[in-house]
Structure 1
Amino acid sequence: MSKVFNLENPWMKFLGKVFDLMLINLITLLLMIPIVTIGPAITAMFYSLNRIITGQDTNLLSEHLAFFKKNIKGPMIVSLLHFSFVLGLFAYLTILGESTASSAIVLKIIIYVLMTCSTLLVIYAYGLFASFNNHVFVTIKNSFFLMIAYIPRTILIGAIYIGFSLFFFRFLAIFAPIVFLLGLVLPSLLVVLLLKSVFATAIEKTEA
């Protein structure tokens, strides 16, 4: 019985990781409540998920909150710029209304593409903020180039979030506790892994 509850037991290690993920998920939800802190909250989540992946998950809660407080400005600026941009596109979308004219349909498609691309760019920006210390507009520029340069992985990042969202929405009644406890961190864990591979590849190419 003592072996079962031994902290070095693989099962106990797994449960420890799950608990860490749930903790990050709940903290992120709480930090997102003021709305304007959504960007910093997601960035801090990416930072802590990266620590878990690399096995640096000691003092996770205190490190998470310390990172959030220290790196609140850049991600907040990016999230507010993104919100304003999407709000402007949405306003234009409402002006187009239910028009079925070919020009209106083309414009709607362009708007949806711009919304999607801007969201993916912001995800890259949060990932960069979580891993590097750069100026806001340098981060935005780097995010744009990485998003374009690694299109297959960019598409996969979008597919992960869309796929998880559709799955959770479809089976919300069944998986409500999982959505509440792990709904943000599960897809984001996969996204952080993809972002790490993108950043590592980009750094190798720069140093080559």
Structure 2
Amino acid sequence: MGNLFNLEGGLMTGLSKVFDIFYLSILWLITSIPIVTIGASTTALYYGVVKVIRHERGYLTKEYFRSFKANFITGTILWLIILLFGSLLYLNMRLAVKMGGTQGYILICIYRAMFFILLCVSVYIFPNLSRFTMRKRQLIHTSFFMAMKHLPTTIVLVVIVVVSYYVIRIIPITVSFLPALSCLLFSFLMERVLKKYMPKKEDGNDESADEWYLE
């Protein structure tokens, strides 16, 4: 019975991770409130989930804000680009619906396909930003390449994001835990992809480098 509540025991470890999921979701919500910061907060969410919750490295608050600050400018610019293109596609789809007829139907199909591609690329951008050091254009190109090359995985990732979004819209209280929980589920698929593009450890490398993501 004593082992059940031991700090290193399975029950306490599980409860600790549940608390971390709630705590990280609240952090994400607070830092996303300005809307324009969603890119930086989502990058930090993924970083915190993988490094602290999955790999048990570091402290959640410290690691979250480390990533948030380091990727604030790039994450914000990328998010605004995504938001701009998404808004333009939405407005164009509305106009195509009003247009009607064959031409309107064709345009709707084109805009929906473009919106799907935008979603596919978007689900890779912030995990890539949390892991790699690249220029914004290179991040977009790399994310597009990964999305297309790993299309079956990409579709599942998009479904996780879209379902989580609608669940939060329908049941707002789920925002207190669903962002981190869905990100945790998301990460099991995403990490399989990202590890294919990580440089492998070689003999003679700096042993002090904290390459937790290769474990």
TM-score (norm 1): 0.87
Q: Which residue of 1 aligns with 2:116?
A: 116
What residue in structure 2 maps to residue 188 of structure 1? 183
| Contact preservation (8 Å) 2:24, 2:45 | yes
Residue matched to 1:133: 133
> Are residues 1:13 and 2:5 paired?
no
In the alignment, the residues of structure 2 paired with residue 68 and residue 193 of structure 1 have an alpha-carbon distance, to the nearest angstrom, of: 22
- Does the C-alpha gap of structure 1 residues 68 and 168 become closer, same or farther in structure 2, counting only changes over 3 Å? closer
Equivalent-residue separation in structure 1 for 2:188 and 2:107 (angstroms): 34
- The alignment partner of 2:121 has SS state of helix
Whole-Å separation in 2 of the counterparts to 1:115 and 1:186: 25
Cα distance change, pair 83–167 in 1 and its aligned pair in 2 (3 A): closer
What letter matches 2:118 in structure 1? S
Q: Please, what is the CA RMSD of the aligned residues?
A: 2.0
- Taking the aligned partners of 2:9 and 2:123, their CA distance within structure 1 comes to 35
Aligned equivalent of 1:53: 54
CA distance in 2, matches of 1:168, 1:68: 23
How many angstroms apart in 1 are the aligned matches of 2:165 and 2:34? 22
Q: Would you say the 8 A contact 1:120–1:147 is kept in 2?
A: yes
Determine if contact 1:78/1:122 at 8 Å carries over to the other structure.
no
Alignment partners' CA distance in 2, 1:116 and 1:18: 32
Q: How does 1:100-111 map to 2 (within 5 A)?
A: 100-111=100-111
Matched, 1:201 2:196: yes
**Structure 1: 5+ residue stretches without partners:** none
What is the alpha-carbon distance in structure 1 between the residues aligned to residue 189 and residue 199 of structure 2?
A: 15
- Give 1:94 deviation, angstroms: 2.4
**Letter in structure 2 aligned against 1:59:** Y
The alignment partner of 2:118 has SS state of: helix
Matches within 5 A, 1:13-162: 13-51=13-51, 52-56=53-57, 58-162=58-162
Between the two proteins, the alignment pairs up a number of residues equal to: 199
Q: Deviations over 1:42-97 (max 9, x none)?
A: 000000011121221x3111121122012111111111111111111122222223
Are the counterparts in 1 of residues 86 and 115 from structure 2 also a CA contact under 8 Å?
yes
C-alpha separation in 1, matches of 2:110 and 2:180? 30
Question: Aligned AA for 1:21?
Answer: I
Q: TM-score, normalised by structure 2?
A: 0.84
SS at match of 2:5: coil
Contact 1:40/1:68 (<8 A) preserved: yes
Distance 2:151 2:108 in 1: 22
Q: Percent identity?
A: 25
Q: Distance between the aligned counterparts of 1:89 and 1:166, measured in 2?
A: 20
